[in-house]
């Protein structure tokens, strides 16, 4: 069974995601969703071997809602910055020291930062200990680093235990 359906949770997520994106439930969409939910994990199996499991699902759910909230609030803040006076912009690069050690956790942190409008993950040091982040406007770089570590890195450590 594990050879034919290597990641059942991922398969369920793919079925639900496909049906939500299709915005309708028909025989064709259900069959396509099932085919994709079977095929994508099977093709991606060699790349997903080293992924660690979720140790704290409640923390993962809290992080998902926190990120969604932060995306909405950052959209509003960026809109105000863009529509306001351009001289108020204070772009800055900051180096965020990482406690995360697993590549998947670091990738999730970089993705969360990039999904949040106004910030972009720009680079990762070769030893995976520093993440370079660009902020559209930041008056206090140290506060930005502390916020990233507290709001995103700390929950990821709690979720994955790394």
The pLDDT value given to residue 1 = 56
pLDDT, tens digit (0-9, with 9 covering 90-100), for 143-153: 999 999 999 99
According to the model, what pLDDT value does residue 2 have? 62
* Partner residues linked to 132 by β-bridges: 95, 123
Check whether 139 has a pLDDT greater than 60. Answer: yes
Give pLDDT, residue 10. 85
User: What is the tens place of the pLDDT at every residue in 63-74?
Assistant: 999 999 999 999
pTM for the predicted model, two decimal places:
0.75
């Amino acid at each position: 069974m594990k050879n034919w359906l290597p990641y059942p949770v991922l398969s369920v997520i793919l079925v639900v995601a496909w049906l939500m994106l299709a915005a309708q439930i028909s025989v064709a969409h259900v069959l396509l969703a099932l085919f994709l939910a079977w095929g994508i994990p099977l093709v991606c199996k060699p790349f997903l071997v080293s992924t660690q499991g979720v140790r704290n699902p409640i923390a993962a759910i809290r992080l998902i809602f926190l990120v969604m909230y932060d995306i909405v609030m950052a959209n509003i803040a960026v809109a105000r910055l863009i529509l306001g006076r351009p001289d108020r912009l204070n772009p800055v690069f900051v180096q965020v020291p990482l406690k995360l050690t697993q590549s998947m956790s670091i990738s999730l942190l970089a993705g969360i930062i990039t999904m949040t409008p106004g910030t972009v993950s720009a680079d990762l040091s070769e030893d995976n200990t520093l993440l370079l982040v660009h902020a559209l406007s930041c008056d206090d770089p140290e506060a930005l680093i502390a916020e990233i570590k507290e709001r995103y890195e700390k929950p990821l450590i709690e979720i994955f235990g790394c």
